[in-house]
Amino acid sequence: MRRSNKRLPWAYSLPALILVGIVIVFPIIYTGYLSLTNMNLYHWFDFEIIGFSNYERALLKLDSGFLSALFTTIIWTAVNMALQVVLAYFIAMALNVDGLRLNRLYKTLLMFPWAMPAYVSILLWRVGMYNTEFGLLNKVLTALGMEKVNFLAENTPAFISCLVLNLWMALPFMIMMIDGALQSIDKSYYESAQLDGAGFLARNIYITIPALRGIIAPAVIMTTFTTFKQFDIIYLLTMQKGALSGATLQTIITYAHQNAFVSNNYGLSSAVSIIIFVLIVVFSLGTNRGLREES
Amino acid sequence: MVIKMKSSKKIKTKLKLTALNIFLISLSFIGLVPILYALSLSLSGSVGALSADLTFLPEKVTLENYRRIITEEPFFTWLSNSVILSVATMTVAIGFAVVASYAFSRFRFKGRTGVLKLLLVLNAFPQILSMFAIFRLFKTVGMLDSKAGLVIVYAGSMCIFSIWNMKGYFDTIPVEIEEASRIDGAGDFQLLWKIVIPLAMPAVIVTAVMVLIFVWNEYLFATTFMLNEKSYTLAGGLYQLQSNDYGRSWPLFSAASIMVSVPILIIFFCIQKYMVSGLTAGGVKG
């Protein structure tokens, strides 16, 4: 009974679609409109359409900072994903070694960083780990007789600090996905490989990795998007209102947010938002096609 | 000779397992350090944070910080705001999404796949980037600083996720059950309310809890759209607490973080099993 009724399904989905219309479609259209105007602090009500010059400014002028933010975002996403997948792979492998009795306990303990509210974790790390006075890392350094490090004051250390924190927050999910996938691999492959004399490396390259690829692809793609769109970590660690840490790290999302809520450059911020949206849509259409072909 | 080889192999695996256990114990410990440190600070009164030496266990366990956060900060106001907002959002989002996802799962109508795909694309727009547009809209219609406004924003943000999540579950429920009850004379709405939703309860509950967690953890919209401290949620209040003067309030903040996180941790470990399937069911989201 796949029913075909013309009006009923629309009646059922109308409330939800109206809600989506207000909260998601309207902002996108309005942002698209603003991106063509010169709206800023001085033109709050009397802004006018100025065509595509916001886009020009973002994409063609190097000093607008957008291109360097885009570069940072790409590096951020690539490094994060590479480390995440590799580390999670080895940790999940370790959890699946035969004869390990406590693996359920380890799994539960390792899930804690994922379960914590994200903003709480970030703020705990900001003060509890990285801070120069109260931070545990600096206390350890002092105890070892070394100088204190201001982790968030310069771009490179700040980038690494954000990276470590992101790994801490994101690894549990990836470990769990890979762990689930590892358990779905038929054990008999390994037995026959063992008989053929395949070593640890060969078993990984020829059995585990090919078997995992299809299963964990959706999770990896999803995490890539969340990493690309990551805002909270960089914002809360380095650029809170009135508590700038000194680093000037910008990803494209923080760049758009800064331009709207700090420098009140609404036109430029909107243009950047639309560019980000287009990038994400193109990327997701591409990965959807790739996934379909693989399955 | 054979016996000797066997026992040396046994010793080797034993050694390997011991090394592995040590590795996993230290990994789990490293993962827990930031949380344990906050816990220990929250229990050590107001001096713990300032002491320069490396102490991990509080010298004297006291609940002073927990008392202060409850009495000196509007903790219960924040808590009740969080509860009201998350329950209201959950009701609106799930209420709307459940009927919509049922329609998308059970009916074949013109524009069905188109709308479903469009919803996924729309979901790709980072929520933070629409904040300014919604802010201006709400300012124009006078909905800033109102709970109803925030509920609309939150429900809208979680609506697409909820539709996709529950549609996936509806797809797995055999339609024969509905056919049978239709023959018994059940009307459209009765069918949905009395037959389908009870069957889909596991998916509805998991989705509802994930909406709840989202609202509970949201700080950015909560602090941008709510203009005075009395109307903050727990997340907003905590954010405010640490941005004011964290030197003074850092032990307080750690106590508050523990209190805010415990309910979420409990819920998380209850629904963890179902969460993974839900998160990846809809393909690409974030």
Are A117 and B269 inside 8 Å of each other by CB?
no
Chain B residues whose CB is inside 8 A of the A284 CB are 120-121, 124, 284
Distance from CA of B1 to the nearest CA of A (A): 22
CA distances from A290 to A214, B66, B124 (A): 11, 52, 18
Over range B97-121, report the average pLDDT.
Answer: 90
In a domain, A66, yes or no: no
Are A269 and B188 inside 8 Å of each other by CB?
no
Stretch (H or E) spanning B140: helix B131-141
Q: Are B192 and B178 in contact (CB under 8 A)?
A: no
pLDDT tens by residue, B236-273: 888 888 877 655 678 888 899 999 999 999 998 888 77
In a domain, A153, yes or no: yes
Distance from CA of B225 to the nearest CA of A (A): 13
CA angle B190/B191/B193 to nearest 5° reads: 60
Q: What integer pLDDT is reported at residue A120 of this predicted model? A: 93
Number of A/B CB contacts below 8 angstroms equals: 276
Residues 6+ apart with CB under 8 A from B51: none
Q: Taking 60 as the threshold, does the pLDDT of residue B280 lie above it?
A: no
Residue A17: closest C-alpha in chain B: B100
- As a CATH number, domain B76-281 is 1.10.3720.10
Task: Indicate the pTM of the whole model.
Answer: 0.89
Distance from CA of B119 to the nearest CA of A (A): 9
Q: Which residues pair with B62 in a beta bridge?
A: B44
Residue A4: closest C-alpha in chain B: B108
pLDDT tens by residue, A99-131: 888 888 999 999 999 999 999 999 999 988 998
pLDDT tens by residue, A41-73: 788 788 888 889 999 988 998 888 899 999 999
Residue B285: closest C-alpha in chain A: A222
How many whole angstroms separate alpha carbon A116 and alpha carbon B259? Answer: 11
Are B21 and A102 inside 8 Å of each other by CB?
yes
DSSP state of B62: B
Same domain? For A150 and A280 the reply is no
Are A19 and B153 inside 8 Å of each other by CB?
no
Measured distance between the N- and C-terminal CA atoms of chain B, rounded to whole angstroms: 59
Nearest CA to A85 among A208, A183, A201? Answer: A208
| Chain A interface disruption, residue of B129, B151, B182, most A CBs within 10 A | B129
Domains contained in chain A, number:
2
Tokens 């508590």 belong to A243
Same domain? For A86 and A165 the reply is yes
Q: What integer pLDDT is reported at residue A2 of this predicted model? A: 53
Same domain? For A226 and A265 the reply is no
CA distances from B270 to B169, B266, B267 (A): 19, 6, 5
Are A229 and B286 inside 8 Å of each other by CB?
yes
Same domain? For A195 and A255 the reply is no
Distance from CA of A57 to the nearest CA of B (A): 19
Q: Between B163, B175, B217, which is nearest A1 by CB?
A: B175
Same domain? For A204 and A290 the reply is no
CA distances from A276 to A54, A59, A255, B101, B108 (A): 14, 12, 11, 29, 34
Residue-range domain boundaries for chain B: 2-64, 76-281
Q: What integer pLDDT is reported at residue A145 of this predicted model? A: 86
B196 falls in which pLDDT band (50, 70, 90)? confident
% chain B with pLDDT above 70: 88
pLDDT tens by residue, B163-193: 998 988 888 888 888 888 888 877 788 888 8
Same domain? For A257 and A173 the reply is no
Chain B residues whose CB is inside 8 A of the A94 CB are 20, 23-24
Same domain? For A110 and A204 the reply is yes
In a domain, A177, yes or no: yes
Same domain? For A222 and A271 the reply is no
**Inter-axis angle of helices A66-95 and A155-183, to 10 degrees?**
40
Q: Which residues pair with A3 in a beta bridge?
A: B107
Task: Provide the token pair at B29.
Answer: 């410990």
Over range A84-96, report the average pLDDT.
Answer: 94
Q: Are A34 and B129 in contact (CB under 8 A)?
A: no
Same domain? For A190 and A93 the reply is yes
In a domain, A179, yes or no: yes
A294 falls in which pLDDT band (50, 70, 90)? low
Chain A residues whose CB is inside 8 A of the B125 CB are 24, 27-28, 277, 280
Residue A242: closest C-alpha in chain B: B243
Residue A226: closest C-alpha in chain B: B286
Task: Provide the token pair at A139.
Answer: 């206390």
Task: Write the DSSP assignment of B111-125 as a string of letters.
Answer: THHHHHHHHHHHHTS
Chain A residues whose CB is inside 8 A of the B104 CB are 9, 13
Same domain? For A106 and A214 the reply is yes
Q: Which domain holds residue A283?
A: 250-295
How many whole angstroms separate alpha carbon B131 and alpha carbon B139? Answer: 12
How many whole angstroms separate alpha carbon A239 and alpha carbon A246? Answer: 8
B283 falls in which pLDDT band (50, 70, 90)? very low
Chain A residues whose CB is inside 8 A of the B122 CB are 20, 24-25, 28
pLDDT tens by residue, A238-277: 988 767 788 889 999 999 999 988 888 899 999 999 999 9
B284 falls in which pLDDT band (50, 70, 90)? very low
HSE-CB of A239 using CA atoms within 13 angstroms: 22
- Say which residue, B285 or A141, is predicted with more confidence: A141
Residue A244 three-state SS: strand
CATH of the domain at A98: 1.10.3720.10
- Say which residue, B237 or A78, is predicted with more confidence: A78
Nearest CA to B101 among B260, B274, B282? Answer: B282
How many whole angstroms separate alpha carbon B253 and alpha carbon B73? Answer: 11
Average pLDDT in chain A: 89
Are B131 and A260 inside 8 Å of each other by CB?
yes
Chain A residues whose CB is inside 8 A of the B20 CB are 94, 97, 100
Chain A residues whose CB is inside 8 A of the B32 CB are 109, 112
Same domain? For A77 and A184 the reply is yes
B285 falls in which pLDDT band (50, 70, 90)? very low
A195-204 burial: b if 16+ Cβ within 10 Å, else e: eeebeeeebe
Same domain? For A85 and A169 the reply is yes
